[in-house]
């Protein structure tokens, strides 16, 4: 056997051809042991019994079977072949490899993320994790609007900012952190208040809006403008130990924010974080959920929160999901609004 293998190697025969040659010889030896009488000199020269040959053949078959199975497993788990030239640079392919491995995202989903334009209203507690994860995920164009500056009291929970950027406009602080994390995304900072003057033209430039504001005036304004523009809105809110999140998309049959919260609470009923406090990790929990819903929405993965409201109680670590419906008499997205 070794002679055949070495001779094949010397004459430049491929491994497959040498293996076939060894297989033919092995089959011939087994046939000789089966057909020739026991006293045959040839059988004696071949070991006298087929047992040892069968053991060797079985061991070789097991070894090659294991090798083939391992190769098949590696091929199944390996990342899909991706073009070295195209919309992604090599560094981007390496950066987003864990996304591309996910069946629900893959190459097309990552391309959708790169092509997406997402506006984030607020660069504070909720905006911080939202912006960081959108940038990390590879959302191509991210707008952020906020008129505030970084203060020391923000740093307990607003993780996108740091001590060195105290006094800096939050949108520029956020831009610095996002581009440091991922230089392949484009960040548009808008240092101004999200008000009626700028809301409609700004929202029109984006595909998806995430609202991380901390007051009802801004929430109702964001909702109205998104509803009129037919743009989906992911809205989150937090206070003390509790948070909530939903996707409001009347253009696709879901409710708007005003359907679920038709009237703003009386003054003092829902205090702000500055008035009532907030646990440091809570914005991270709800903000990460918002970013996750954004990624799912852009990629068309899984089941989103259209028509569902998530309520999270961090103090007792309980999360509930309740159904919410569109109201036919809603003053924002009801029948009187001809665009919906």
pLDDT digits (tens, 9 = 90+) for 288-336: 999 999 999 999 999 999 999 999 999 999 999 999 999 999 999 987 6
What residues contact 229, with CB distance under 8 A and at least 6 apart? 200, 203, 204
Give the separation between CA 228 and CA 330, rounded to whole angstroms: 13
- The catalytic site residues sit at 273
Q: Mention the CATH class of domain 116-323.
A: alpha beta
Count how many Cα atoms sit within 13 Å of the Cα of residue 180 in the half-sphere of its side chain: 8
pLDDT, one tens digit per residue, over 54-110 is 666 667 677 667 676 666 655 554 444 444 446 889 999 999 999 999 999 999 999
pLDDT of 74 reads 57
**CATH 3.40.50.720 domain residues, the chain:** 116-323
pLDDT, one tens digit per residue, over 170-187 is 999 999 999 999 999 999
Q: How confident is the model at residue 44 (pLDDT cuts 50, 70, 90)?
A: low
SS3 letters for 169-237? EHHHHHHHHHHHHCCCCEEEEECCCCCHHHHHHHHCCCCEEEECCCCHHHHHHHHHHHHHHCCCEEEEE
pTM for this prediction:
0.74
List for the chain the helix, strand, coil content (%; round to 5): 50, 15, 35
**14-18, 48-52, 127-131, 288-292, range with the lowest pLDDT:** 14-18
pLDDT of 30 reads 67
Number of Cβ within a 10 Å radius of residue 318: 10
pLDDT of 265 reads 78
Can you tell me which residue has the tokens 């009802």?
216
């Amino acid at each position: 056997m070794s002679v055949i293998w070495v001779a094949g190697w010397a004459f430049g025969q491929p491994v497959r051809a040498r293996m076939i040659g060894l297989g033919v010889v092995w089959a011939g030896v087994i046939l000789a042991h089966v057909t020739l009488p026991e006293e045959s000199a040839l059988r004696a020269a071949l070991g006298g019994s087929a047992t040892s040959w069968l053991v060797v053949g079985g061991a070789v078959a097991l070894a090659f079977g294991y090798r083939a199975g391992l190769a098949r497993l590696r091929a199944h788990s390996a990342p899909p072949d991706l073009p070295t030239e195209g919309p992604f640079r090599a560094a981007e392919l390496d950066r987003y490899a864990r996304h591309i491995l996910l069946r629900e995202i893959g190459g097309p989903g990552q391309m959708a993320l790169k092509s997406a334009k997402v506006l984030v209203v607020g660069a504070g507690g909720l905006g911080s994790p939202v912006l960081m994860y959108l940038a990390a995920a590879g959302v191509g164009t991210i707008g952020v609007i906020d008129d505030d500056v970084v203060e020391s009291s923000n740093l307990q929970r607003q993780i996108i900012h740091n001590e060195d950027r105290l006094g800096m406009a939050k949108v520029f602080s956020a831009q610095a952190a996002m581009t440091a994390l991922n230089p392949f995304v484009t960040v548009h900072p808008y240092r101004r208040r999200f008000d009626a003057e700028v809301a409609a033209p700004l929202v029109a430039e984006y595909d998806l809006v995430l609202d991380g504001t901390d007051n009802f005036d801004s929430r109702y304004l964001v909702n109205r403008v998104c509803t009129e523009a037919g743009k989906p809105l992911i809205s989150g809110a937090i206070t003390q130990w509790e948070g909530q999140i939903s996707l409001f998309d009347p253009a696709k049959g879901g409710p708007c924010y005003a359907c679920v919260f038709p009237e703003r609470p009386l003054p003092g009923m829902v205090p702000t974080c500055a008035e009532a406090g907030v646990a440091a990790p809570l914005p991270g929990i709800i903000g990460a959920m918002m970013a996750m819903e954004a990624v799912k929405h852009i990629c068309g993965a899984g089941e989103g929160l259209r028509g569902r409201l998530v309520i999270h109680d961090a103090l007792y670590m309980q999360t509930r999901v309740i159904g919410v419906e569109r109201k036919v008499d809603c003053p924002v997205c009801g029948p009187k609004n001809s665009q919906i």
